[in-house]
Amino acid sequence: MAKDNQVLEEITSKEYEHGWNVDLETDSAPKGLSEDIVRFISARKNEPEWMLEWRLSAYRQWLKMTEPKWPNVTYPTINYQDIIYYSAPKQAAKPKNLEDIDPELLKTFEKLGISLTEQKRLTGVAVDAVIDSVSVATTFKSTLAEMGIIFCSFSEAVREHPELIKKYLGSVVPVNDNYFAALNSAVFSDGSFCYIPKGVRCPMELSTYFRINAANTGQFERTLIVADEGSYVSYLEGCTAPQRDENQLHAAVVEIFAMKDSHVKYSTVQNWYPGDKQGKGGIYNFVTKRALCAGDHSKVSWTQVETGSAITWKYPSCILKGDHSSGEFYSVAVTNNMQQADTGTKMIHIGKNTKSRIVSKGISAGKSQNSYRGQVHIMKRADNARNFSQCDSLLMGDQCGAHTFPYIDVENSSAKIEHEATTSKIGEDQIFYCQQRGIDEESAVALIVNGYAKEVLNQLPMEFAVEAQKLLALTLEGSVG
């Protein structure tokens, strides 16, 4: 017991690894939100008139909406007037290549372990890095351009490819979808845009890295992926934030539009600052992610590893509209200390012979609360729809909670739905077995948790899988007792 306590102490005193902040000169909007701020953001980004109108209409809708109260999380009321909605690292002009980029900024990325230059050479991952709302650099752009792939910051896309943006922006997540999506639509400052043309198989992993640096800022980025007929893309997203006492708001929107025969794979490793062990500070991660499988035989798979954030509120969903389309959701959500997570997915089956698969693994430790909330909806015309869901929860310590709220709505008699969920604690016999063979308790827990989450981790691209495994072990270090 004494050893357990010591171990527990070690982990609780563990500092957030990415908790530094770099002095970057920033160009920010004043605190608060009003039509003027929306105009300010739009003007700062040199946006065309139609974009401003779109933002303003979103803002007006947002004013009419109320914050959702149904998630199983508690937090003090957010003062939306106390947030800086736009903060950009100051730059003279848009950089042409990596050498032009502020060296301080490059250092930031190096610390994060995603040195742009490094990645460019070694892994061949094309990275679009977003710091405090503004897209800083996109690597490998020209290589991709040769294949007709557009991968650029959102503001660039608005300027260069307005016809695509006009067509697809808000087509999957409408402006008035929910409170935070509306807020994002009004004030989003940047993000990534990706278009894969017909029949192109994107040769490398595309990746965005998000980081909130400046104090009191909210990050509102927007990602739009359009996969044209028969194309394939694998997209990665990573997030970190420096350690701060105040809570910071992150309300992002990700839209995926998948056409006939296309396949999009979206992976996230989310490691926002979770707050300290008393629950002070940390990111509020209120994200709307949705994919529309518009064409027949299209496929979208979401994989997420959620270890950070004080509060996570996120349901990556698939609308399976095309016949034979399929959606997948693989998730590992780990909460420790005072973290709260309410996450899950929605699979809306509209087309015939649609398939979906949900694998969700929740791990709660400390005083955290971890909820799975999901919906599988088989619409009337969705003949022969098939769904398999599995959501397991693992509890460590007697002060945490695990909750499951699955909604299963079936309107078609040919549907086959299976759902199962289990909750248990780490098996003492399993730990004992490992210890007996000379593996210490700590490593045994890491081993068991990794095995437990393996089904999900296996879905991640190589480089991410390694990082994710390390993150898991780190977050849970010593939390058995």
Partner 1 sequence: MDLAVKNNLLENIAVPSDGTSAIRHQALYSLHSLGLPTSKTEEYKHTAISRLLEKNFQSLAVSTSKGNVVADTFRIQNLDAHVLVFINGEFDQAQSSFSTKELNIQPLAVALAERKEIVEKYFSKLADTKADAFVSLNTATWNNGLLIEIKNNVQVTKPILIHQINDASKSKIITASRNLILVGKSSEVSIIEKYDSIGEANFSTTVNEVFVAENAGLTYTLIQNDGGQRYQFNHTSIQQESNSRVNCFTLSLNGKAIRNNLQLSLDGEGIDSHMYGLYLLTGDTLADNHTVADHRKPNSISNELYKGVMDGNSKGVFNGKIYVRPQAQKTNAFQSNRNILLSDKATVNTKPQLEIWADDVKCSHGCTSGQLDEEALFYMQSRGISKDSARAFLLYAYAGEVIEKISNETLRNYIDNLVSERLHKNF
Task: Give yes or no for residue 416 binding partner 1 (CB under 8 A).
Answer: yes
* From candidates 405, 430, 442, 474, binder to partner 1 by CB under 8 A: 405
Residue nearer to partner 1 on the CB measure, 169 or 365: 365
**Stretch of 133-141, 253-261, 284-292, 403-411 contacting partner 1, by CB under 8 A:** 403-411
C-alpha 209: how far from chain center: 11
Chain position carrying tokens 């309300």: 251
Which residue, 10 or 420, has its beta carbon nearer to partner 1? 420
Question: Is residue 395 a contact point for partner 1 (CB under 8 A)?
Answer: yes
Q: Applying CB under 8 A, which of residues 41, 249, 415, 465 lies at the interface with partner 1?
A: 415
Cα–Cα distances (Å) from 56 to 46, 186, 447, in that order, read 15, 6, 51
| 59 CA to centre of own chain | 23
Smallest separation, CB 346 to partner 1 (Å): 14
Contacts with partner 1 by CB under 8 A: the residue count is: 34
For residues 214 and 363, which CB has a smaller minimum distance to partner 1 in the complex? 363
Taking CB under 8 A as the criterion, the residue among 171, 423, 430, 450 binding partner 1 is: 423
Nearest distance from residue 275's CB to partner 1, in Å?
Answer: 21
Binding residue (CB under 8 A) for partner 1 from 34, 414, 443, 458: 414
CB 198 within 8 A of CB 231: yes
Dihedral (CA of 100, 102, 106, 107) sign: positive
Distances, alpha carbon 346 to alpha carbons 112, 291, 445, in Å: 32, 10, 31
Q: How far apart are CA 70 and CA 243, in angstroms?
A: 28
Applying the rule CB under 8 A, the residues between 34 and 73 that interact with partner 1 are 70
Ramachandran angles phi, psi of 284, nearest 5°: -90, 115
Indicate whether 338 belongs to the interface with partner 1 (CB under 8 A).
no
Per-residue mark of binding to partner 1, 207-246 (x: CB under 8 A): ----------------------------------------
- The one among 332, 410, 446, 456 contacting partner 1 by CB under 8 A: 410
Part of the chain binding partner 1 (CB under 8 A), chosen from 125-133, 211-219, 395-403, 468-476: 395-403
From the list 108-116, 132-140, 141-149, 397-405, the region that binds partner 1 by CB under 8 A is 397-405
- Measured from the CB atom, the residue of 260 and 355 that comes closer to partner 1 is 355
Considering only 20, 407, 432, 433, the residue that binds partner 1 (CB under 8 A) is: 407
Buried-exposed string 204-239: b where 16+ CB fall within 10 A, e elsewhere? bbbbbbbbbbbeebbbbbbbbbbbbbbbbbbbbbbb
Stretch that binds partner 1, among 44-52, 388-396, 445-453, 465-473 (CB under 8 A): 388-396
- Pick out residues in 1-40 that bind partner 1 (CB under 8 A): none
**What track of x and - describes contact with partner 1 for positions 68 through 107 (by CB under 8 A)?**
--x-------------------------------------
Which range binds partner 1 by CB under 8 A, 35-43, 55-63, 407-415, 467-475? 407-415
Query: Which of 115, 404, 459, 475 touches partner 1 (CB under 8 A)?
Result: 404
Site residues (vs partner 1, CB under 8 A) = 70, 380, 393, 395-425
